[in-house]
Amino acid sequence: MPFNTKLTRALGIKVPIVQGGMQWVGYAELASAVSNAGGLGILTALTQPTPEDLRKEIRKCKTMTKKPFGVNITLLPSMNAPDYGAYAQVAIDEGIRIVETAGNSPGPVIKQLKAVGTIILHKCTTIRHAQSAINLGVDFLSIDGFECAGHVGETDITNFILLSRARQSLKVPFIASGGFADGQGLAAALSLGAEGINMGTRFMCTIEAPIHQNIKEEIVRAQETDTELVLRRWKNTSRLYKNKVTEAAVKIEKESKTGKFEEVAPYVSGKRGREVFINGDPDYGVWTAGQVIGLIHDIPSCDELVKRIEREAEETLNKASALIVPASKL
């Protein structure tokens, strides 16, 4: 039976599963496959070198799916910040109705998008940030627990607490992000009050994810202990796949007398991280992955994966409700 949540209704999707924006992974191939499977696929704006390239990618994605898909705009601290407004304008001009925002000071971009009625899913790792985003008028929060891949924030609160805090205190619907890979997880998220889930690492390990096969096989081999937190010293903590490069970066982070970011910068270079996905060498640079990596044991198509999660979630919720029996049957 189909799911019917605030998320599925607002986005016009069948299954309450969002594929989170992923730098160097969120191309049309993956986003269209997730949307065709009944979830929400998302293109990552900043994976495209310019706003015009994003326009081309959106047009390409439209040829690959007739279903809704979204665009992620991530605002990160940077010396030479990209022109976020121009990326957002391209999304608007191309008729994108759903945008996932993440990062610092999203106010101006959210204002620009809301002015034309775009549905905004905003990612946050604390309830305080969620409340600020609500004041900006976002439609859904995407609550990112400490288990998640990428920017985990600085408070280290896992989803078991964070989701219930969201349920208790937020006036806007939310989805659960970080640590989800199966239908049992979706059922748990719905039970905690979420309207759906967001997955990153799990979607990297699908047939359609446009990354090297070796990296997908590395994900299948990896365990939940194989991620590492980097850049905590600079309050920009990222959960990355633990490899030779993250180990070297963390060593410098711990031992540096100066605490200058320049010392660690070459190790965490985004360019080398991108190369990992192209050349398939997991030790070539840093790449993002969540603790959920320990729950991933195969490389299915997006369609197979989404159908499986849907089926497992339904079975799990049915099994759970069968645990409640009339007192007369005990």
177 belongs to the binding site for ligand FMN (CB under 6 A): yes
Query: Residue 53: how many CB atoms within 10 A of its CB?
Result: 14
Task: Please give the size of the binding site for ligand FMN, defined by CB under 6 A.
Answer: 29
* Residues in 128-167 that interact with ligand FMN by CB under 6 A: 144, 147-150
* Residues in 281-320 that interact with ligand FMN by CB under 6 A: 288-290, 292
Closer residue to ligand FMN, CB minimum distance, 78 or 258: 78
* Residues in 30-89 that interact with ligand FMN by CB under 6 A: 44, 72, 74
Q: Which of 30, 96, 113, 199 binds ligand FMN (CB under 6 A)?
A: 199
User: How many whole angstroms separate alpha carbon 108 and alpha carbon 176?
Assistant: 25
| Bridge-based pairing state of the strands 150-151 and 238-241 | antiparallel
Q: Which of 54, 204, 205, 296 binds ligand FMN (CB under 6 A)?
A: 204
Listing DSSP states for 113-167 in one string gives: HHTTT-EEEEEESSHHHHHHHHHTT-SEEEEE-TTSSEE--SS---HHHHHHHHH
Q: How far is the CB of 323 from ligand FMN (least distance, A)?
A: 28
Burial class (CB in 10 A: 0-12, 13-18, 19+), 88: buried
179 belongs to the binding site for ligand FMN (CB under 6 A): yes
User: How many whole angstroms separate alpha carbon 264 and alpha carbon 16?
Assistant: 39
- Of residues 36, 170, 204, 13, the one with CA closest to residue 98: 13
Q: Which of 198, 243, 246, 316 binds ligand FMN (CB under 6 A)?
A: 198
Closer residue to ligand FMN, CB minimum distance, 144 or 218: 144
- Of residues 73, 72, 69, the one with CA closest to residue 83: 73
Q: Which parts of this chain interact with ligand FMN (CB under 6 A)?
A: 20-23, 25, 44, 72, 74, 102, 123, 144, 147-150, 177-180, 198-202, 204, 288-290, 292
